[in-house]
């Protein structure tokens, strides 16, 4: 990459960083409000275990899977590394771009989006194997141990938003995509005007996924908008622990996780103690640049001499990031 191109990329990333620090498609809201659900039927719905008492902040990896059917790859379209401190009531979320190129232990260099599928496919599609490889990939490259994994699918995200009765967001500028990818690998046109926008589950997913107009920074920003609003809605609509836990139990099968039932209860009951002021979002836009593999595939290459340090400092609360959103 030429020096001029690198400088241009750095300038573009810094400009885009303002107001686009966020997370993506899905999962923080699910993890906070709905998604602390055990995979399948491991916990009967009529049992309410005692919440676990965490003795230290926990690190969770939250993902949204592009899962379209049996035999299809399950790539993580969204990936977020989260540090949850229930004692101090803080949450810090680092968005990790799906196209970031790194070493996936046992499988070689590839985009991080492939880690879950490599693991799950190696063991008959089991979530546990996918989750373990996701953890190993983060620890190997970022030097951050991960305590637990929470993932959902596109359909799961839609259903979670619908469980809230949809979500109404304040869209900072009109977003038009003439080539939004459909589930059957076709395209369609979507258009979300500036201002207040009502989104059901399907449109919330589209709003969070589209990036043709403004790239990954815009997509991450929209994910942040939706997730922050879902938290506001949860705090406003569920004014007691029992109603929130009932919502979690009802929707537990929308999420795959290795959180124990006791951990799920602990996180759920802690939600009313949080507010959007307690949440910090960031990303790695300043630490990546557009690149290509030897085979010609487009990727994000990372500045790996800086990424682990930034990640640790951000998660530890040593770095604060502006949280304002763009207006145009």
Give residue 186's domain range.
3-315
Question: For the residues 259-269, what does the mean pLDDT come to?
Answer: 92
- 320 within some domain: no
pLDDT at site 70: 75
Cα–Cα distance measured from residue 187 to residue 105, given in angstroms and rounded to the nearest whole number: 35
Cα–Cα distance measured from residue 253 to residue 156, given in angstroms and rounded to the nearest whole number: 9
Q: What φ, ψ does residue 279 adopt, rounded to 5°?
A: -115, 130
Give the SS3 label for residue 79: strand
Give the SS3 label for residue 5: helix
Q: Do the bridges between strand 148-153 and strand 167-171 make them parallel or antiparallel, or are there none, so unpaired?
A: unpaired
- 142 within some domain: yes
Least confident span in 67-76, 227-236, 279-288: 67-76
198 has pLDDT over 50: yes
Residue 94: HSE in the Cβ half-sphere, 13 Å Cα cutoff: 26
Cα–Cα distance measured from residue 58 to residue 54, given in angstroms and rounded to the nearest whole number: 8
- 266 within some domain: yes
- The string of pLDDT tens digits covering residues 302-317 is 999 999 999 999 999 9
Least confident span in 40-54, 102-116, 165-179, 285-299: 40-54
Instruction: Tell me the CATH number at 198.
Output: 3.40.630.190
Q: What percent of the chain has pLDDT over 90?
A: 70
Number of domains in the chain: 1
> Is pTM beyond 0.85 here?
no
- 263 within some domain: yes
Identify the band that residue 2 occupies on the pLDDT scale cut at 50, 70 and 90: very low
DSSP string, 214-262: THHHHHHHHHHHHHHHHHHHHHHH--SHHHHHHHHHHTGGGEEE---HH
- 321 within some domain: no
- 322 within some domain: no
- 306 within some domain: yes
- The string of pLDDT tens digits covering residues 33-67 is 333 333 333 444 556 788 999 999 999 999 999 98
């Amino acid at each position: 990459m030429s020096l001029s191109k690198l400088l241009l990329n750095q300038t573009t990333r810094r400009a885009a960083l303002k107001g686009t620090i966020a997370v993506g498609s899905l999962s923080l809201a699910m993890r906070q409000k709905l998604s602390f659900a055990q995979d399948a039927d491991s916990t009967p719905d009529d049992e309410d275990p005692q919440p676990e008492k965490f003795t230290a902040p926990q690190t969770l990896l939250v993902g949204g899977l592009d899962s379209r059917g049996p035999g299809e790859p399950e790539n993580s379209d969204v990936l977020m590394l989260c540090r949850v401190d229930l004692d101090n009531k803080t949450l810090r979320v680092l968005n990790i771009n799906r196209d970031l190129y790194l070493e996936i232990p046992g499988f070689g260099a590839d985009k991080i989006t492939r880690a879950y599928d490599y693991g799950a496919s190696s063991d008959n599609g089991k979530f546990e194997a996918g989750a373990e490889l996701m953890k190993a990939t983060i620890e190997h490259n970022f030097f951050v141990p991960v305590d637990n994994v929470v993932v959902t699918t596109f359909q799961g995200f839609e259903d979670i938003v619908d469980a809230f009765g949809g979500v109404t967001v304040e869209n900072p500028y009109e977003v038009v995509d003439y080539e939004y990818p459909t589930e059957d690998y076709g395209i369609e046109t979507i258009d979300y005007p500036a201002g207040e926008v009502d989104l059901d589950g399907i449109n919330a997913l589209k709003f969070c996924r589209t990036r043709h107009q403004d790239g990954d920074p815009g997509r991450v920003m929209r994910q942040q908008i939706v997730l922050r609003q879902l938290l506001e809605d949860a705090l406003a609509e569920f004014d007691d622990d029992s109603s929130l836990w009932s919502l979690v139990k009802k929707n537990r099968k929308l999420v795959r996780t290795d959180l124990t039932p006791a951990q799920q209860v602990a996180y759920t009951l802690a939600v009313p103690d949080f507010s959007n002021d307690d949440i910090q979002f960031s990303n790695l836009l300043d630490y990546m640049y557009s690149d290509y593999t030897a085979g010609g595939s487009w990727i994000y290459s990372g500045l790996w001499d800086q990424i682990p340090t930034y990640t640790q400092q951000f998660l530890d609360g040593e770095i604060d990031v502006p949280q304002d959103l763009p207006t145009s």
